[in-house]
Amino acid sequence: MKTEQRTSPQEQPERSGLFLLLRTILPVLLVLLLAAGCDSFLDKKPLGQQTTENFFTNEEEAIQATNASYSKMREWNLHVFSFLGLTDMISDDATKGSTPTDAAFLIELENLTHDSGHQAVLEWWSGNYEGIYRTNVNIQNLPNTDMNPDLRNRLIGENRFLRAYFYFNLVRGFGGVPLITAPLTPEEYDQERVSAEAVYAQIIEDLEFAAEHLPLKSAYPAADLGRATQGAAEAMLARVYLYLEDYGQAEFYAREVINSLEYDLLPDYFQIFTEQGENSSESIFEVQATATEESTGGSQYGQVQGVRGTPNLGWGFNRPSRDLDASYEPGDLRHQATMLFPWEELPDGSGRTVIENQTMEDERYNKKAFAASFPGSIDNYPVNIRRFRYSDLLLIAAEAAYRNGSEGDARDFLNEVRERARVGRTLTIGILPENASPHMVSILNLGNLETRVFARMVHQGSPAEQAGIEPFDHALDRGRVRANLLDMVVSVNGIAITDRESFLDAVDAQTAGSTIPVVIHRIRHGQNPEEFTLNVTVQELLPDVTASGQDLLDAIWHERRVELAMEQKRWFDLIRQGRAAQVMQDLGVSFVTGKHELYPIPQNEIDLSNRALTQNPNW
């Protein structure tokens, strides 16, 4: 389906909710729902004027209908603007971003001052129910389609997996919701809420069916890469049972996925969110968004979060927070793979630099949503949306094993994730080294220096901070970019530094616990550059966790934050862990226990339901 072009999120039309959807959208021709538009298995032509009465006559139409369920996953009201607001921006991982006045209503999510009329709440509710409708149409009609029985069961399994995904979104966000498992007749439109337990029961039933009938990832041909798999269904079951605090079942399904040997951690964390990292060994399930000049199979997920200004890659929403900065351990390179900063060279090898945008505050971007280029218009972003990675599954296994009394296994799963996070390194002095971009070299006259490495970040409490190395500090002065302070690394224990890799190699060649000389070339605004030597202690990089008890659980939760940062996991993690109130209050945000654990049911939906729907407590 063609992605709608938009130039500003404030121009978004109000989306119809479930009951308006039932009254106005569902009776229309199926063509609006069955036009899929992504490369590979989603790259299908529109289907003309078929309806549910004359469609589903053969195998090709069954596949096309299922592709339409997948195409919903790329759309605006499911995985784009409101989704980011209700998952990242609402949490301590991110703030609204963009310019202060653009889509200012999102600040209400940050401050937990939103209400039942909030646009984001209605939009996400609608998006999930639109996805449920598509899957329900397919699940009802596929059994009567003339086709290969095994393929029929697979397609039903794919739709039931997706339906479970949509309902899992809804039950975590809203609690009990209307449970609709087949297209409704007009007299059935006014649906009441069922209990959260009933929704979870349906989710589990759907996922169990999917796990039984879907093939392993390795069994799919290349053209079908990205479809739901047995491993994806089992991984979702592990996640669902974790939320239900049924840790025995959570560990069972997590181990099923691990023991299948279908998945493995990608050795280079920096590659996961590149084009080369899409559908990698680590991918359990991701939304396919392969845009081409001929089709608009992309998503606005990347556009919304892309660099705003120069280069022009997007709108700059969903800004990684300073609180997220402080959560990383000294030298954790995942920080560098997660955030994109002004003055930084784009990670595409083009040499282009992110130029400071004076209309934005505390400018930074989600690097995990980065794309170097896009065919056609800017809204056709070719960024796959990673929804379930193997590292997430390992951390679910770690938490479940801990809860089941297997602390040794919990540490093993946790430390497997930490080992990959070292990206082949073992030591650190606690800075994030970055290569000065060509723009930076030019504007700061760094051409006379052999080194190109500067301290972008210096982790609080790290050896580098204790020795006096300072992080890059910059500002805008009357609209012009100014570097207030820049520490360039000239040498490490006598080893000359030229670029980031040589710095990391030099540190890794030292001994943990040793104190070594590090030569710094400091550039400070309004002063002559100075060069001096600091004695810095070397320490282990992300050492294995040996903790037990509550400290081990805290370590697992911490690892979830830094490993999965800016992947829309944090808010629901805080809610299920029972830590949201304290975390938000530490940020100065008032979290009302008994209220903010759930979103409000959209008031528009309550009104349209003839009051069949009831509101969540305290809203």
Q: Is residue 215 a contact partner of residue 161, using CB atoms and an 8 Å limit? A: no
- The answer to which of 16-25, 274-283, 323-332, 366-375 has the lowest mean pLDDT is 16-25
User: Helix, strand, coil % (nearest 5) of the chain?
Assistant: 45, 15, 45
From-to residues of CATH 2.30.42.10 in the chain: 429-540
- The answer to which of 10-19, 75-84, 296-305, 320-329 has the lowest mean pLDDT is 10-19
Is residue 447 packed enough to be buried (19+ CB in 10 Å), middle (13-18) or exposed (0-12)? Answer: exposed
- pLDDT of the residue at 330: 96
Q: Which of 196, 207, 269 is nearest to 235 (CA)?
A: 207
Q: Give CA separation, 433 vs 66, 227, 497, 550, in Å.
A: 46, 38, 11, 33
- The answer to which of 334-343, 480-489, 527-536, 564-573 has the lowest mean pLDDT is 480-489
Average the pLDDT over 407-432 and give the result: 97
Q: Is residue 115 a contact partner of residue 600, using CB atoms and an 8 Å limit? A: yes
Most confident of 298-302, 444-448, 508-512: 508-512
3-state secondary structure of 484: strand
From-to residues of CATH 1.25.40.890 in the chain: 17-214+578-619
Distance CA 245, CA 197 (A): 13
- pLDDT of the residue at 477: 65
- pLDDT of the residue at 19: 54
Torsion (CA) 497, 515, 325, 361 in degrees, nearest 10: -60
Max CA pair span of the chain:
80
Q: Tell me the pLDDT band of 443, cut-offs 50, 70 and 90.
A: confident
- pLDDT of the residue at 18: 59
Q: Tell me the pLDDT band of 334, cut-offs 50, 70 and 90.
A: very high
Distance CA 52, CA 50 (A): 7
Distance of CA 2 to the CA centre of its chain: 23
Average the pLDDT over 68-87 and give the result: 96
Cβ contacts of residue 26 below 8 Å, gap of 6+?
A: 133, 183, 184
Q: What is the DSSP letter of 178?
A: -
> If one looks up domain 429-540 in CATH, what number appears?
2.30.42.10
Q: What is the DSSP letter of 50?
A: -
Q: Which of 248, 200, 572 is nearest to 404 (CA)?
A: 248
- pLDDT of the residue at 295: 65
Distance CA 80, CA 583 (A): 25
The backbone torsions φ and ψ at residue 205, rounded to the nearest 5 degrees and listed phi first, read -60, -45
- pLDDT of the residue at 280: 96
| pLDDT exceeds cutoff 70 at 436 | yes
More reliable by pLDDT, 212 or 188? 212
3-state secondary structure 535-585: EEECEECCCCCCCCHHHHHHHHHHHHHHHCCCCCCHHHHHHHHCCHHHHHH
| pLDDT exceeds cutoff 50 at 31 | no
> What percentage of the chain carries pLDDT values higher than 70?
90
Convert the pLDDT of each residue in 228-238 to its tens digit. 999 999 999 99
- pLDDT of the residue at 146: 93
- The answer to which of 131-135, 348-352, 450-454, 603-607 has the lowest mean pLDDT is 348-352
Distance CA 363, CA 224 (A): 39
Measured distance between the N- and C-terminal CA atoms of the chain, rounded to whole angstroms? 36
Write out the two tokens for 450: 């052999």
How crowded is residue 618: how many other Cβ atoms within 10 Å of its Cβ? 12
Q: Give CA separation, 517 vs 41, 394, 489, 510, 532, in Å.
A: 56, 39, 11, 11, 10
Average the pLDDT over 18-41 and give the result: 43
- pLDDT of the residue at 480: 61
Q: Give CA separation, 348 vs 115, 351, 419, in Å.
A: 41, 8, 26
Q: Is residue 328 a contact partner of residue 335, using CB atoms and an 8 Å limit? A: yes
More reliable by pLDDT, 263 or 2? 263
What does the chain come to in residues?
619
Q: Find where tokens 């999120």 sit.
A: 9
Convert the pLDDT of each residue in 270-293 to its tens digit. 999 998 999 999 999 999 987 777
- pLDDT of the residue at 451: 96
| pLDDT exceeds cutoff 70 at 590 | yes
- pLDDT of the residue at 388: 98
> If one looks up domain 17-214+578-619 in CATH, what number appears?
1.25.40.890
| pLDDT exceeds cutoff 50 at 23 | no
DSSP string for residues in 248-310: HHHHHHHHHHHHTT-----S-GGGTTSGGGTT-TTEEEEE-----SS----BTHHHHHS--SB
| pLDDT exceeds cutoff 80 at 538 | yes
Distance of CA 518 to the CA centre of its chain: 37
- pLDDT of the residue at 59: 93
Q: Indicate the average pLDDT of the chain.
A: 90
- pLDDT of the residue at 375: 74
| pLDDT exceeds cutoff 80 at 54 | no
| pLDDT exceeds cutoff 90 at 377 | no
How crowded is residue 383: how many other Cβ atoms within 10 Å of its Cβ? 27
The backbone torsions φ and ψ at residue 102, rounded to the nearest 5 degrees and listed phi first, read -75, 125
Convert the pLDDT of each residue in 449-505 to its tens digit. 999 999 999 999 999 999 999 999 987 665 566 789 999 999 999 999 999 999 999
Q: Tell me the pLDDT band of 206, cut-offs 50, 70 and 90.
A: very high
Torsion (CA) 149, 150, 154, 157 in degrees, nearest 10: 70
Q: Tell me the pLDDT band of 36, cut-offs 50, 70 and 90.
A: very low
